[in-house]
Structure 1
Amino acid sequence: MLTESDILQALRDCYDPVLPCNIVDLGLVRSVTITPDREAPGANIPGVPPKNIIEVSVTPTQTDEASHAQLSAQISNRLAGLETVSRTNVTLLDSPHWTPLNITPAGRKILGLDGNPNLVQIR
């Protein structure tokens, strides 16, 4: 059975168009919803894994359309690679706005913000 944790793990392969960190550790992913797709090809056939529709809500770091398109395409393409995903819908949220306070401790480490006395610590 596909879980939110599985989706978030897959989304760690998707990177922000500007910042060199994955969208999960940047804190861009606001919500993930998994709904069974009862109309997917092969539904209700024994031995065929059930398919799901994935809804992902994301707060982008950038406001330009090119960044939005790149972010949406990365998410859709990455989740299309999961056997039990039939379709992905990405919603880009205008609010709440993303801030560096959303970055996880792992993201701060990736960006080199932890343990470097020359950089302002984000907490």
Structure 2
Amino acid sequence: MAQINEAEVMDALRECYDPEIPVNIVDLGLVYNVDLNQEEGNVGITMTLTAIGCPMAGEVMEEVETRVKQVENVNACKVDLTFDPPWSPDRMTEDAKWELGMI
């Protein structure tokens, strides 16, 4: 049985950017969990946004779903949005902080 490559899923997520901050959603710390169901070929993504009520939430979630479904052996992708725990800049990678001039 063909397996979903988690590194390829993460690479696909790194191609998705927050519409207000020029950093990908992985480095921003917006992705909380990636669940691979190898038997079904399904990927579940639990993520958040930098702000509750972000008017671009639907577009961000749609882009995540579209890019992940392009990964080999992925049949479906479901994106769940959560605000628990709330996002904070502490979740950002060091690379993201450098890119934004925070370090």
Under a length normalisation based on structure 2, what TM-score does the superposition of the two structures give? 0.88
1:117 corresponds to: none
1:75 corresponds to: 64
Give structure 1 stretches of 5+ with no counterpart.
Answer: 39-51, 115-123
- CA offset at residue 37 of structure 1? 4.6
Aligned residues: 101
2:14 corresponds to: 12
Give structure 2 stretches of 5+ with no counterpart.
Answer: none
Paired residue secondary structure (2:90):
helix
Query: Which structure ranks higher in relative contact order (CA pairs < 8 Å, sequence separation ≥ 6)?
Result: 2
Q: Which runs of 4+ in 1 moved over 3 A?
A: none
Aligned mates of 2:6, 2:99 — CA distance in 1:
23
Paired-residue identity, %? 31
Report matched runs for 1:18-57 at 5 Å: 18-38=20-40, 52-57=41-46
Q: 1:107 aligns with which of 96, 99, 102?
A: 96
Aligned mates of 2:15, 2:55 — CA distance in 1:
19
